[in-house]
Amino acid sequence: MDRIKLIDKLNTAHDLSDEEFYQLIFPLCSAGLSEESSPDNAALKAYTDAAAWTKDEEDHLYITAREAADANYGKSVFLRGLIEFTNYCKNDCYYCGIRCSNKNAERYRLTKEDILNCCDQGYYLGFRTFVLQGGEDPFFTDERICDIVSAIKLKHPDCAVTLSIGEKERASYQAYFDAGADRYLLREETSDNEHYHYLHPDSLSMKHRQNCLFTLKSIGYQVGCGIMVGSPMQTPKAVIKDLRFMQELKPHMIGIGPFIPHKDTKFANMPAGTLTDTLHLLSILRLMFPDILLPATTALGTIHPLGREMGIKAGANVVMPNLSPTGVRGKYLLYDGKICTGDEAAECRMCMQRRIESTGCHVEISRGDHCSVSH
């Protein structure tokens, strides 16, 4: 079937066979099929050239996906204020710039007061969701996390709190939820076991990470999963496994962004995920899950100056400007070249508004819950 027909089919059925997805996901321009990993470069090049998308096919994909977003959320784009509150981490994910064995990372932690100040400033700027993200930092015990979450909810009861602090046991997730946390972001990273082990040390397991997502959902969180596009050794087949995992999980949000190498990791010389692959996948996800909350990520804005605008045009409807104090921004470096590390929160906020409006969308000042959730 040609790609235009497949896009239309995905738009109406919200699903395709693996073979059909393969046609939409190939060519994956990024690392998984790089010259380095290909046994037969010439054959690979011939195949990728033959499979290259035409402009009409791409336009059709992006326009159809944007229409699906409009049908569910109109032209609204939701803002989340991102507070990167610690870059200490006990894990050693091989791709990540703040993993524990990177001795060059300059470590920091924000205090509860710092975090509350970020929220106050964010509230003034119109943010109604605060995302607390960090490495898996043992300093932040369950008690400390609950104390911070309940303090934010007490000061800003009309705001949602999202946590993104990694893999925990059910009792911890339950305690954060009881303290007032509304949402949780935990990318599964990949749903292919072999690929997972290529990206992570043996101490981490794909099953445990996936189980965390089901646990979070069963507790009542709005849950976000996701992957890096073009992570080392990622193949189209692995991406299709992710799509199947997402169908099983039925998340409220899916965060995808390109993999970008970090100089102090073993993947320092691997190519970054591409703009094209990321935009294609954003649109595919929008058509599979028309009511999903779908961010245009900072990583997408890092690989191309207009990446986030293009992401919105391809169906994304969330952006997460940085609210962290400027003094620590440059230290939360997951990958090289990260944008917005020197800007004040207010600058980021106004810059994002201009960027969103340039796409024909507008900023929505609200919690921006998934459309199935009522308050």
C-alpha distance from residue 211 to each of 91, 223, 367 (Å):
18, 12, 27
Nearer to ligand FES, 225 or 288 (CB): 225
Q: Which is nearer to ligand SAM, 126 or 337 (CB)?
A: 337
Decide if residue 264 touches ligand FES (CB under 6 A). Answer: no
Is 122 a binder of ligand FES (CB under 6 A)? no
- Is position 32 an interface residue for ligand SAM (rule: CB under 6 A)? no
Sole window of 42-50, 162-170, 275-283, 310-318 interacting with ligand SAM (rule: CB under 6 A): 162-170
Q: Report if residue 260 touches ligand SAM, rule: CB under 6 A.
A: yes
Q: How far is the CB of 231 from ligand FES (least distance, A)?
A: 13
Task: List the one residue from 117, 121, 164, 276 that touches ligand SAM (CB under 6 A).
Answer: 164
Q: Counting contacts by CB under 6 A, is residue 334 touching ligand SAM?
A: yes
Q: Is the separation of the CB atoms in 256 and 227 below 8 Å?
A: yes
Could you say which residues in the range 198-257 bind ligand SAM, by CB under 6 A? Answer: 228, 257
C-alpha distances (whole Å) from 102 to each of 3, 127, 135 are 43, 33, 13
Task: Kindly state whether residue 186 participates in binding ligand SAM, applying the rule CB under 6 A.
Answer: yes
Identity of the residue, 77 or 225, whose beta carbon is nearer to ligand SAM in the bound complex:
225
Confirm or reject binding of residue 168 to ligand SAM (CB under 6 A): no
Query: Cα dist. 21→24, 85, 205, 226, 369 in Å?
Result: 5, 38, 26, 17, 29
| 99: contact with ligand FES by CB under 6 A | yes
* Beta carbons within 10 angstroms of residue 50's beta carbon: 8
95 touching ligand SAM, by CB under 6 A? yes
* Stretch of residues binding ligand SAM (CB under 6 A), selected from 185-193, 305-313, 323-331, 365-373: 185-193
> Positive or negative, the Cα torsion across 256, 260, 261, 265?
negative
Note whether 133 binds ligand SAM by CB under 6 A. yes
In the list 77, 82, 83, 93, the residue contacting ligand FES (rule: CB under 6 A) is: 93
Which lies closer to ligand FES via its Cβ, residue 25 or residue 98?
98
Binding site for ligand SAM (CB under 6 A): 95-96, 133, 135-136, 164-166, 186-187, 189, 228, 257, 259-260, 262, 299, 334-335
Which residues bind to ligand FES, rule: CB under 6 A? Answer: 89, 91, 93, 96, 98-99, 135-136
